[in-house]
Structure 1
Amino acid sequence: MKKNSFLALSMVLVLSLFIAACGGGDNGSGGEGGSEDPKFLSMLTGGTSGTYYPLGGAMAKIIGEKTDIQTDAVSSNASADNVIALSEGDAELAFVQTDVMANAVEGTNAFEGKAVDNVLALGSLYPETVQIVTKADSGISSVEDLKGKTVSVGAPGSGTYINAQQILEVHGMTMDDINAQNLDFGESTGGIQDGNIDAAFITSGTPTGAVEGLSASTSVSIVPIAQDKIDELVEKYPYYAADTIEAGTYNMENEVTTVAVLAMLAVSADLSEDLVYEITKAIYENTGEIAHAKGEFITLETATDGIGIDFHPGAEKYFKEEGIID
């Protein structure tokens, strides 16, 4: 009797393996080319002192809980590097600035001659404010005052670097007019505090942790951008929008006029429609659970704002169901 039971069990196991080998488990959930979706998801964010990393951690937790796929937020050099990593298959999701993503698809700026065609949009998140940070007593009160100064502009090819380049451009300046330093947000604010640099371009949601840390021990000023220069910048680069940093931010007495781009989530084109649909649904139906101040800016109603590239079919399906796109 025991022998017969063993034989029966063996036959069931063999039959199961045969069905799996013949593709009996294929329900169309794989990515392009029929490949299966990953068992784990990597979400590239940014430096640990910026907004992307902690926000990414909060969002990864929600994605993991709602899809039952472990999702890990990974620190990185942010936008440009994130797009390249996605295109090379080193991650599945990534935070990216909308302007950098547009450059990648168009093959411009940091992506000159190497356009990316296998990264798609999942959805936009919140405004990323261009903050030109300095000490209140630095004597720098306009962009023109940066001339000849030591200024952090972020890593070459990063979103922050491109923002700095374009803002200098509309003020009749180039990187050659400043002593440009390629520092991350934490290094930038540390350099300002130590007196090693005079100012820093920081493109991030406000308040930014690194700048808040600086303002706890040093009187901080954000250099304003004049309205005519904002208009010129928006006309030339439509992915910018006018923005205001409210009084009280970083203990500042007055509000500051500047510009912003949008943060977005980009996704590998290799992920299946079903999986990306579930990820998109998880994010935009659970924004109230995002344990980060920027969660309040992430809404279904604004999920398609500023996106200049194609949506992943899974995200597109969800947004159509919700009436956000036609």
Structure 2
Amino acid sequence: MKNLSKKVIAAFISGAVSFSAFADNFTIGTGSQSGTYYPLGGTLAKIWGETIPDFNMRAEVTAGSVENSIKVATNKQLAGIAMGSVVQKAHDGKKPFPMKMDVAVVSALYPNVVHFMVPADSDIKSISDLKGKKVSLGAPGSGTRTSAIGILGALGMSEDDLKAQSLNYTATTSALANGQIDAGVIVGSLGVGAVTELTLTRDIRVLSFSADELAKISEAMPSFQALEVPANSYNNVPAFNTPAVWNVLVVNKNADTELVYNMTKSMFENIDQVRQSIKVTSYTTVDNMQMLGGVPLHAGAQKYLDEVK
């Protein structure tokens, strides 16, 4: 699967994979339809189409953060939603990216929560207990997979220590519900649909990280910070401590300044409409625009920020 991921990434960058050009119709890369990225991208596309003259945009289902970062950097889509940790790697040219990518941030959006899920009656109590187990680490090209592998690495483990599988949100929750895997990882907003739906039909736990584990993860990946999730944030799921990372709206750093300014302005002027559909965007504020400090704001977004402040 490692080789497959490298081939997919190489194909995106070289242009060997065909995508719809956005000369006439723009696209925003999202993720799985059962995640938060897809409805958020659809809501933003609708708002931009209604408020920016001669602007048509549609939300595109993608594998998630890695694919979105690559497609934005290579002008295969205008915008994308991605985990800040992945965009940081793209900006710095670190694995899984083979080179520095032309990415810039429009705004931080909301924090993503790391869910290492197991059946409630599982004997898996900690991350170290995952060794030798069947674990879905997320789809190739997704921020979930990149984050899961990075977290394991920070704790002295690798996917080779597991019977690793690469399933998307829907396939992960289905496999966990049907006993086909021992554990599954989803990195998404608190209350993400895939986890919420799973807990309505199955009793699960989300593994809780120790303070020492959280410190090691933050040291290795500074964009991840500890988060305490209260009990019953999901149906019958006990409280857990876990890493969390901000999601961001990303564009090509060379994208038209005035266009990105108008997109930023439109998003914030209509943010109440966004929040009606996506509750976690209560975190999407002007004050939080720069929460991902390691990647600069696009010039158009910076223009808007300077204007309102």
TM (norm. structure 1) is 0.84
CA apart distance, 1:140 = 1.5
Aligned counterparts, 1:271-310, within 5 A: 271-290=255-274, 291-310=277-296
CA apart distance, 1:322 = 2.0
Give 3-state SS (helix, strand or coil) of 2:96's partner: helix
Aligned counterparts, 1:62-77, within 5 A: 62-68=47-53, 69-77=55-63
1:193 lines up with 2:173 in the alignment: no
CA apart distance, 1:252 = 2.8
Indicate the structure (1 or 2) with the bigger Cα radius of gyration.
Answer: 1
Q: Distance between the aligned counterparts of 1:297 and 1:269, measured in 2?
A: 24
Give 3-state SS (helix, strand or coil) of 1:188's partner: helix
Give 1:16's aligned residue: none
Q: Distance between the aligned counterparts of 1:159 and 1:287, measured in 2?
A: 25
Unaligned runs of 5+ in 2: 1-21
Point out 4+ residue stretches in structure 1 off by more than 6 angstroms: none
Is residue 142–residue 225 contact of structure 1 (8 Å, CA) maintained in 2?
Answer: yes
Q: Distance between the aligned counterparts of 1:39 and 1:157, measured in 2?
A: 26
1:220 lines up with 2:210 in the alignment: no
Give 3-state SS (helix, strand or coil) of 2:251's partner: strand
Q: Distance between the aligned counterparts of 1:51 and 1:134, measured in 2?
A: 21
Give 2:248's aligned residue: 264
2:35 to 50, 54, 57: 50
Give 1:124's aligned residue: 108
Aligned counterparts, 1:200-239, within 5 A: 200-239=184-223
Cα deviation code 1:215-242 (max 9, x no counterpart)? 1110021011111111121122111111
Change in CA separation of 1:59 and 1:143 when aligned onto 2, cut-off 3 Å: same
Q: Distance between the aligned counterparts of 1:89 and 1:120, measured in 2?
A: 13
Residue identity in the other structure for 1:229: E
Aligned counterparts, 1:62-211, within 5 A: 62-68=47-53, 69-112=55-98, 114-116=99-101, 118-211=102-195
Q: Distance between the aligned counterparts of 2:88 and 2:63, measured in 1?
A: 18
TM (norm. structure 2) is 0.88
Give 3-state SS (helix, strand or coil) of 1:257's partner: strand
1:245 lines up with 2:229 in the alignment: yes
% identity of equivalent residues: 33
Is residue 55–residue 294 contact of structure 1 (8 Å, CA) maintained in 2?
Answer: no
Q: Distance between the aligned counterparts of 1:66 and 1:168, measured in 2?
A: 44
Give 3-state SS (helix, strand or coil) of 1:73's partner: strand
Give 3-state SS (helix, strand or coil) of 1:111's partner: coil
Q: Give the number of aligned pairs.
A: 285
Q: Distance between the aligned counterparts of 2:252 and 2:95, measured in 1?
A: 21
Q: Distance between the aligned counterparts of 1:44 and 1:76, measured in 2?
A: 6
Q: Distance between the aligned counterparts of 2:262 and 2:24, measured in 1?
A: 14
Q: Distance between the aligned counterparts of 2:32 and 2:100, measured in 1?
A: 25
Residue identity in the other structure for 2:92: E
Give 1:255's aligned residue: 239
Give 3-state SS (helix, strand or coil) of 1:252's partner: coil
Is residue 98–residue 308 contact of structure 1 (8 Å, CA) maintained in 2?
Answer: no
CA apart distance, 1:39 = 4.2
CA apart distance, 1:244 = 2.2
Is residue 151–residue 198 contact of structure 1 (8 Å, CA) maintained in 2?
Answer: yes
Residue identity in the other structure for 1:45: T
Q: Distance between the aligned counterparts of 1:61 and 1:125, measured in 2?
A: 17
CA apart distance, 1:110 = 0.1
CA apart distance, 1:171 = 2.6
CA RMSD, 1 decimal: 1.5
CA apart distance, 1:286 = 1.9
Give 3-state SS (helix, strand or coil) of 2:67's partner: helix
Q: Distance between the aligned counterparts of 2:52 and 2:303, measured in 1?
A: 17
Give 3-state SS (helix, strand or coil) of 1:201's partner: strand
CA apart distance, 1:210 = 1.1
Is residue 48–residue 75 contact of structure 1 (8 Å, CA) maintained in 2?
Answer: yes
Change in CA separation of 1:226 and 1:161 when aligned onto 2, cut-off 3 Å: same
Q: Distance between the aligned counterparts of 1:54 and 1:270, measured in 2?
A: 26
CA apart distance, 1:253 = 5.0
Give 2:11's aligned residue: none
Q: Distance between the aligned counterparts of 2:243 and 2:51, measured in 1?
A: 35
Cα deviation code 1:186-215 (max 9, x no counterpart)? 000000011111111111101111111111
